[in-house]
Chains A and B, each alone.
Chain A
Amino acid sequence: MYKSKNRTVMQTNYLLPNKYKAFGWVLLVIGLIGGILMYSQLIDGELLNMKVFSIYNGESIFGNDQGFFKVIENGVLDEIVALFIMIGGLMVGFSREKVEDEFIYKLRKDSLVWAIIFNYFILILAVLFIYSFAFFDVLVFNMFTPLLFFIVRFNFLKHKSDSHEE
């Protein structure tokens, strides 16, 4: 913590400036809408076919099929959607609040811990009760759920402590 202009602000080296938050929300919402449309088969995730550089391309990481460091053809819409959700989500979750102080910092940390525990709790249930290819969907969702649970929990706690004074 340091003092500047009488602000009791937290000195954190991993938070982005507040102005990135709005842009993060735009990316995140576009990504989520794109993701829902792709999952409901309304749009095809393999659109926007183009040549991309792949470090590895194959059926499994330990197979020895298509090989390393090649330029391949791939529809990149699904990759773009995933990047929008992840980058947008990181910007939303890790940009400063307008007033970033010690209580907000605590809410953010608590929300992160909560999100990780909650995510693994859900994942344990999924391992136990979801089988076959449906589990692949679970893994896909799990790329995003820790970040999304964190954002939801953080904003929920923030608004809960924002209730108007009596």
Chain B
Amino acid sequence: MKNNIKIERARFDLTQAELAEKIGVSRQTINAMEKNKYVPSTLLALKIARLFKKAVEDIFLLEDHE
């Protein structure tokens, strides 16, 4: 799974720390998701999508082999 968190974060002009604060997670979590090292829970994915005012599948995308 890949995601557009970094792009959306730039669009909203947020740092990792600011995004983490808004969603209520640690900065490590944002960092790990952006580096595709962590697949978030459904709850966290929904919260991120809500913050960026987009559908979850516009931010989190399956890769071809998945």
**With a CB–CB cut-off of 8 A, which chain A residues contact B43?**
1, 8
Complex alpha-carbon distance, A165 and B20, angstroms: 13
**With a CB–CB cut-off of 8 A, which chain B residues contact A101?**
24-26, 29, 44
**With a CB–CB cut-off of 8 A, which chain A residues contact B44?**
8, 101-102
Question: Is the CB–CB distance between B31 and A99 below 8 Å?
Answer: no
How many chain B residues touch A (CB < 8 A): the figure is: 22
Question: Is the CB–CB distance between B26 and A99 below 8 Å?
Answer: yes
Is B37 interfacial (CB 8 A cutoff)?
A: yes
Task: Tell me the B1-54 residues at the A interface (CB within 8 Å).
Answer: 15-16, 20, 22-29, 31-34, 37-38, 40-41, 43-44, 47
Complex alpha-carbon distance, A104 and B24, angstroms: 13
Is A158 interfacial (CB 8 A cutoff)?
A: yes
Question: Is the CB–CB distance between B16 and A103 below 8 Å?
Answer: no
Residue in A6, A98, A100 with the greatest tally of chain B CB atoms within 10 Å: A6
Residues of A within 8 A of B (CB): 1, 5-9, 97-104, 106-107, 158, 161-163, 165
